[in-house]
Amino acid sequence: MGQDNQTKKKETTVAATFVEESSSRSGMASAKPLSSVEETPSQSGMAPAKPLSSDEDLLKSEISELKVRKIKGSKNIVSGICNILATFNNTKVAFADPVGNVISWSCAGKCGFKGSRKSTAFAAQVVTQDAGRTAMSHGFKEVYVKVSGPGAGREPAMRALQALGFDVTGILECTPQPHNGCRKKKRRRV
């Protein structure tokens, strides 16, 4: 009989700490602890979340500035140089500080392009975005662009810089031009 009293006491304490809540789907009652009973926003100390009501609010929520996370050891460099090398087979982009120390770089192979796809304009755009995001995380905002090479990725790379939100302060064409230097290769017979 002493054991029955103990079990009844346990049942009453368990019943006191749980609240019965009816389930709308199954129609069965389920137990929920008192501590997890939902609080109103005024009880929890938080302001109620404002629901988006109109189309204008929805449009405003979609259009947001590009969020860039700062890297742990970020250099906090505001301006620098962007070197774009666009060859017939590849496109390489490097961001450097005004002295010339490379902060971030990328190339088509690093971004997953292989073979003839490395020389496309789209690959140049992706490469510039990859290197640009890393540079932005270090604090870059304005760049001086140096372009070299005859490849197809020259202009798309510069457009991608502007699309990322960089202030382009100047563009320098630095493709090497020979002053009748070394002898050319013999002409191809096709």
CA atoms within 13 A on the CB side of 117: 10
Please check whether residue 180 is in contact with residue 147, taking contact to mean a CB–CB distance below 8 angstroms. Answer: no
Q: Round to whole Å and give the CA distance between 160 and 179.
A: 33
DSSP 3-state of 184? coil
pLDDT in tens, the chain (190 residues): 555 555 555 554 444 444 444 444 444 444 444 444 444 444 445 555 545 445 454 445 444 455 555 666 667 889 999 999 999 999 999 999 999 999 999 999 999 999 999 999 999 999 999 999 999 999 999 999 999 999 999 999 999 999 999 999 999 999 999 899 999 999 999 8
Tokens of 160: 């991608």
Print burial letters for 88-123: b (CB count within 10 Å at least 16), e (below 16). eebbbbbbbbeeeeebbbbbbeebebeeeebbbbeb
Compute how many other C-beta atoms are within 10 angstroms of the C-beta atom of residue 144: 16
Kind and range of the H or E run holding 46: none
Q: DSSP label at 59?
A: H
Tokens of 166: 């960089």
Burial class (CB in 10 A: 0-12, 13-18, 19+), 137: middle
Q: Round to whole Å and give the CA distance between 104 and 93.
A: 8
pTM for the structure as a whole: 0.59
In this predicted structure, what is the pLDDT of residue 143? 95
Q: Looking at domain 79-173, which CATH architecture does it have?
A: 2-Layer Sandwich (3.30)
C-alpha to C-alpha distances, 43 to 36, 47, 80, 177, nearest whole angstrom: 13, 10, 51, 74
